[in-house]
Amino acid sequence: MLGGRLLHGGDYNPEQWLECPEVLEEDIRLMKEAGVNCVTLGVFSWSVLEPEEGVYNFDWLEERIDRLGEEDIQVVLATPSGAMPHWLTQKYPEVRQVFADGKRNLPGKRHNFCYTSPVMREKITALDRALSERFGRKENVILWHISNELGGNFGDSTCHCELCQEAFREWLKKKYGTLDNLNHAWWGRFWSHVYTDWSQIHSPAPHGECGMTGLALDWKRFSTEQISDFCTMEIEAVRTYSELPVTANFMDFFKGLDYQRMERDFDIISWDSYPFWHEKQDEVKPAVRAAANHSLMRALKKQPFLLMESTPSQVSWRDYNPLKRPGMHMLSSIQAVSHGSDSVQYFQWRKGRGSFEKFHGAVVDHLNGANTRTFHEVAEVGERLPGLTELLDKTINRPKAAVIFDWENWWAVEDTQGPRLDLDYVECVLSHYQAFWEAGIEADFIGMDADLDGYKLVSAPLNYMYKEGYAEKVRRFVESGGFYVTTYFSGVVDETDLCFTGHHPLEDVLGIMPEEIDAPSEEFANSFSYQGKEYPAMRICAVVHPKEGTEVLSVYDKDFYAGAPMVTRNGYGGGQAFFIAAESDISFLRAFYNDMFQSAGLKNALGIELPYGVTVTVRTPQGDCAGQNDKSLQMSGHCPAGSIVFVMNFRHEPVELTRIGEWTDAETKEKVSGILKLEKLSCRILTAGLPQR
Ligand code: GLA
Ligand code: ZN
């Protein structure tokens, strides 16, 4: 566990208050009161750290780090590349990003620098090295934090300047070797777009090439590589005088950057979580999305991660920004921990007085110091976490199920023309995952490159692209006893968006031959019956033929493809492969996956059916094997020794679970036998068996 404890704190920006020593001193006092043990410094501090080119002003930072150290508060130290000072953008305009439309940014905002620019690279490296020298070995500095939300400039993470174009061409040369290879991969003869010179290649642009999907895919891959290269440079710089681990704060399903590729640049994964709580009375949707994100971040390294930012009350960037209702702050914080986070951190410690984020929730508000509801709820988290530290140290969630979520597939499936333009990969994956969440069956979110060994069930919705080697991996997985679920519009193209020809790559395993794909209007929507109940088949309906031996579990009711398979099962080797031909709704997915869990022998930790809005997660000791192969984990319904079970109620009313067996409340040490009561918006943490006498 980093720093030896569950971290609690958040972004701290004392540079906005340097003229107010009484505020800075009050910060320390309030941090102690709120149970804060870690803060992140320096995220956007460039203009204060280097007020003039080459002139460093670090004394204020050292004073803060030392003062925090005196109070046993640890520090995550960020590099300030997330926002550029005006002297830099004025003297060196080339550091400013160029948009896809060819326009260069004016100075201002943040996350808008060119990742290729030698000047930007030189200036930030020099500053990072100086930070490393001065702070890299301080006792209470525990982690480097590279930049901020990399690539987070309103969806387009990249710069389209000439330097970046040139770097892109070089990257393509390395990847393809010859223009012939590239023209083939991108299907260049279509619309006569054959490249005859590397210099003709330009990034995708609204007023230029925006229809060549192979080019668009490679541009996104290149952008990830370029940002990764920039990070590696910053990492090397901060490591000049320091051996501390390194992280970068990732975002909620951020399409611009392939985190499954970026993961390897960092020692620890961290991310910023801002679910849209209280959009509706029913909190299941945001709870599912947050759980999915946490599971994705954990699965990147199969290690505990850090919740780097969250709001203690409300954000300021949605059209309307509900306050977290009483209880939600504790619940959402523990939710992160329950999925493998070793921290609860906020943006930010104290609300600034001016500019863009002055109304974004913070632990300390403009008025009333510690005397606010938000502060009290934060302090409650600060009080609860230390009691969990020992319990959770060296533990992690080790699901037996996985959901394929792959960035390159995401880019490809949403970029392609037809059969529908409104395909939403994240929404689709989340709808499948919701069935897992509701049943309390945990799942890792893994890319196509990940190992499938040790999982019992793998679900791959809307898995349009098959990366090299993927089909073979799935084949082996099913052959050796795995359950594999996939859907319509899967296994259609290879890594450069070229359609497979002849046969579906997993035709033998799935036992189906896809023929057509209908994208019907609402009036032409279809239906089907599954286990005696009728469900809708809508939006995208694949027409497939079963192969000999394939069991058809359900067929379409209507239209010219009435009677064609809607759900199929095929035994292959020791395992089974399922195919869902059309999009349906959550009630179908619930019914389908519940059958799946049963056949695959997967049960939640309590071994009971959970009421709607309640879910369960388990952290178990990491041990040596840290894999899912651990035999003890295959015990159904109950957990291996040392498991910590989180039971969470996301409903706005109390619930009572019955027939849950014998447990101990990990915090109160009270016996929990048969019945578990949960307050509204709350979490209880249990360990197996009755209390030890
Ligand atoms: C992001 C950023 C922070 C802040 C918050 C506000 O996570 O990293 O600097 O802007 O959003 O929600
Ligand atoms: Zn550039």
Residue 43 in contact with residue 71, Cβ under 8 Å? no
DSSP E strands: which ranges in 364-425? 395-396, 401-404
Among protein residues, the one whose CA lies closest to atom 4 of ligand 1: 347
pLDDT above 70 (res 693): no
**Which helix H or strand E contains 290, and what residues bound it?**
helix 284-301
DSSP E strands: which ranges in 369-476? 395-396, 401-404, 443-446, 457-460
Q: Could you give the C-alpha distances from 452 to 58, 440, 622, in angstroms and in order? A: 48, 21, 19
pLDDT above 90 (res 553): yes
**Cβ of 148 less than 6 Å from ligand 1:** yes
Phi, psi of 640 (to 5 degrees): -65, 165
Residue of 143, 30, 66 whose CA lies nearest to 382: 30
Across the strands, what pairs with 499?
A: 493
The arrangement of strands across the sheet holding 395-396 comes to 395-396, 614-621, 644-649, 682-688, 662-665, 671-673
Measure the N-to-C terminal CA separation of the chain; round to a whole number of Å: 29
Residue of 62, 159, 165 whose CA lies nearest to 115: 159
| Amino acid 638: pLDDT | 58
Task: Quickly list DSSP for 224-260.
Answer: HHHHHHHHHHHHHHHTTT----EE-EE-TT-TTS-HH
pLDDT above 90 (res 627): no
Return the amino acid letter for 82.
Answer: G
| Amino acid 421: pLDDT | 95
Q: Could you give the C-alpha distances from 489 to 83, 464, 681, in angstroms and in order? A: 41, 5, 38
3-state secondary structure of 221: helix
| Amino acid 691: pLDDT | 78
Q: pLDDT (tens digit, 9 = 90+) per residue, 389-424?
A: 999 999 999 999 999 999 999 999 999 998 999 999
Instruction: Report d(CA 570, CA 484) in Å as an integer.
Output: 10
DSSP E strands: which ranges in 450-491? 457-460, 483-487
Among protein residues, the one whose CA lies closest to atom 7 of ligand 1: 272
Instruction: Report d(CA 560, CA 552) in Å as an integer.
Output: 18
Instruction: Report d(CA 556, CA 564) in Å as an integer.
Output: 6
pLDDT above 80 (res 220): yes
Ligand 1 atom closest to Cα of 44? 9
- 113 CA from centroid of ligand 2 (Å): 8
Q: Which of 309, 345, 357 to mutate to test the pocket of ligand 1 (most atoms within 8 A of CB)?
A: 309
**Cβ of 149 less than 6 Å from ligand 1:** yes
Helix axes 328-338, 284-301, angle to 10 degrees: 30
Length of the chain: 693
Confidence category of residue 512, pLDDT binned at 50, 70, 90: very high
SS (H, E, C) 90-126: HHCHHHECECCCCCECCCCCCCCECCCCHHHHHHHHH
Q: pLDDT (tens digit, 9 = 90+) per residue, 478-491?
A: 999 999 999 999 99
Average pLDDT of the chain is 96
Phi, psi of 443 (to 5 degrees): -140, 140
Ramachandran assignment for 274, one of left (phi > 0), alpha (psi -120 to 50 degrees), beta (any other): beta
Phi, psi of 12 (to 5 degrees): -125, 125
Mean pLDDT confidence for 337-357: 98
Which positions are catalytic? Answer: 149, 309
Instruction: Report d(CA 672, CA 691) in Å as an integer.
Output: 9
Q: pLDDT (tens digit, 9 = 90+) per residue, 143-167?
A: 999 999 999 776 677 899 999 999 9
Question: Which sign does the torsion angle of CA 159, 254, 188, 204 carry?
Answer: negative
- 347 CA from centroid of ligand 1 (Å): 6
- 247 CA from centroid of ligand 1 (Å): 16
User: Model's pTM, two decimal places?
Assistant: 0.97
pLDDT above 70 (res 634): no
| Amino acid 690: pLDDT | 78
- DSSP-assigned letter for residue 382: H
Q: Could you give the C-alpha distances from 603 to 62, 522, 526, in angstroms and in order? A: 52, 37, 32
By CB atoms closer than 10 A (0-12, 13-18, 19+), residue 297 is: buried
pLDDT above 90 (res 286): yes
| Amino acid 401: pLDDT | 98
Helix axes 373-392, 328-338, angle to 10 degrees: 20
Return the amino acid letter for 363.
Answer: V
Mean pLDDT confidence for 446-464: 98
| Amino acid 170: pLDDT | 98
Q: Which ligand is nearest to the CA of 271?
A: 1
Across the strands, what pairs with 513?
A: 545
Mean pLDDT confidence for 547-553: 98
Instruction: Report d(CA 249, CA 76) in Å as an integer.
Output: 12
Q: What percent of the chain has pLDDT over 70?
A: 97
- 224 CA from centroid of ligand 2 (Å): 13
Residue of 118, 95, 115 whose CA lies nearest to 105: 95
Q: pLDDT (tens digit, 9 = 90+) per residue, 254-279?
A: 999 999 999 999 999 999 999 999 99
| Amino acid 330: pLDDT | 98
3-state secondary structure of 677: strand
Confidence category of residue 594, pLDDT binned at 50, 70, 90: very high
| Amino acid 154: pLDDT | 64
- 120 CA from centroid of ligand 2 (Å): 10
DSSP E strands: which ranges in 31-88? 38-41, 74-78
Q: Which ligand is nearest to the CA of 116?
A: 2
- DSSP-assigned letter for residue 631: G
Instruction: List, in order, residues 6 or more apart from 486 with CB less than 8 Å away.
Output: 459, 460, 461, 463, 506, 510, 577, 578, 579, 580
Alpha-helix runs per DSSP H in 136-186: 162-176, 179-185
Cβ count near 672 (within 10 Å): 22
Among 103-112, 441-450, 553-562, 620-629, the least confident range: 620-629
| Amino acid 338: pLDDT | 98
| Amino acid 195: pLDDT | 98
Mean pLDDT confidence for 207-222: 96
**Cβ of 272 less than 6 Å from ligand 1:** yes
DSSP E strands: which ranges in 584-654? 614-621, 644-649
Q: Which of 81, 110, 272 to mutate to test the pocket of ligand 1 (most atoms within 8 A of CB)?
A: 272
Confidence category of residue 636, pLDDT binned at 50, 70, 90: very low
Q: pLDDT (tens digit, 9 = 90+) per residue, 185-201?
A: 999 999 999 999 999 99
Q: Which ligand is nearest to the CA of 248?
A: 1
